[in-house]
Amino acid sequence: MSRLSHSEIHMVHRIGWLRAAVLGANDGLVSTSSLVVGVAAAGSDKPEVLIAGLAGLMAGAMSMAAGEYVSVSSQTDAEQADLAREKRELAETPDAELEELTQIYVARGLDRDLATKVAIQLTERDALATHARDELGISETVTAHPIQAAIVSALTFAVGAVIPLVITLMAPAAQLVSVVAGTTLVALAILGAAGASAGGAGLVRGAVRVTFWGALAMAATAAVGMVFGVSVG
């Protein structure tokens, strides 16, 4: 009898890098486009707009990397602290921990006898990993990776930020605001749909929610630029 291989890759397996990638690209596109639109609306010439955009790209990429690293490192520290506490409790009160695991399986639908057998067998195999997964909700799939998150966020921010800068170089100075804003909205819709697709969600919903907030950000910065109406050059 031949054996059928069955391999599954679930969307949750991508959560570590997908969240950082979508956040970075979206932030890079929205913040840089908003900066370009705001500075251009204030009456600045194209060179000043480009300088502001480049400065925003560099500062934003570094800020994203630092922010993601600190944030995810905090999550990792919390996970490690919980695991250390669980390891200590397993050594000091193994019977209480076994009963706790049994109650978890009973709450999930197993009868008492079966839950006890499952708890005993899994504890004998790897007690700490079992409690980490079933009691604390910590597994390899969702474990935080600070360096990975920082690198992905910085790179995707830079990629997103490059789009409005390229458009700024190509667009006529007189139509700079409208061209950058329009192109950014299209790019945001594509990004939102792509992120939703990678995460297994609806394309239209993903595109709409990203585009809405991007449009709101650009409108706010454009309003600020027009209200002050002074050149930053």
Give backbone dihedrals phi and psi of 222, rounded to 5 degrees, phi first: -65, -40
Residues 77-111 pLDDT 10s: 888 898 899 999 999 999 999 999 999 999 999 99
Q: State both tokens at 120.
A: 């005993």
Q: What is the pLDDT of residues 148-186, one digit of tens each?
A: 888 888 898 999 899 999 999 888 888 888 888 888 888
Contact 136, 82 (CB under 8 A): yes
Residue showing tokens 């506490």: 85
Cα separations in angstroms, 199 against 10, 187, 190: 9, 18, 14
CA distance 61 to 175: 27
Question: 88 is written with which tokens?
Answer: 């200590």
Mean pLDDT of the chain: 81
Percentage of the chain modeled with pLDDT above 90: 24
Q: 157, 25 in Cβ contact below 8 A?
A: yes
The lowest-confidence range among 6-20, 119-133, 151-165, 184-198 is 6-20
Reduced to 3 states (helix: H, G, I; strand: E, B; else coil), residue 2 is coil
- CA distances for 123 relative to 57, 90, 114, 115, 161, angstroms: 50, 10, 14, 12, 50
- Domain ranges, ordered by start, for the chain: 14-77+145-226, 87-134
Question: What is 106-134 written as a DSSP string?
Answer: HHTT--HHHHHHHHHHHHHHHHHHHHHHH
Neighbours of 5 (CB within 10 A): 5
Residue 9 in 3-state DSSP? coil
- Answer whether residue 233 shows pLDDT above 50: no
Report which of residues 18 and 53 the model is more confident about. Answer: 53
pLDDT at 11 over 50: no
**53-89 burial, b for 16+ CB within 10 Å, e for fewer?**
beebbeebbebbbebbbebbbeeeeebeebbeebeee
Please state the rounded mean pLDDT for residues 188-204.
72
Q: What is the pLDDT at residue 140?
A: 64
Of 143, 146, 214, 225, which is closest to residue 181 (Cα–Cα)? 214
Q: Is the pLDDT of residue 2 over 50?
A: no
CA distances (Å), origin 157, targets 131, 203, 228: 37, 21, 28
pTM of the model: 0.67
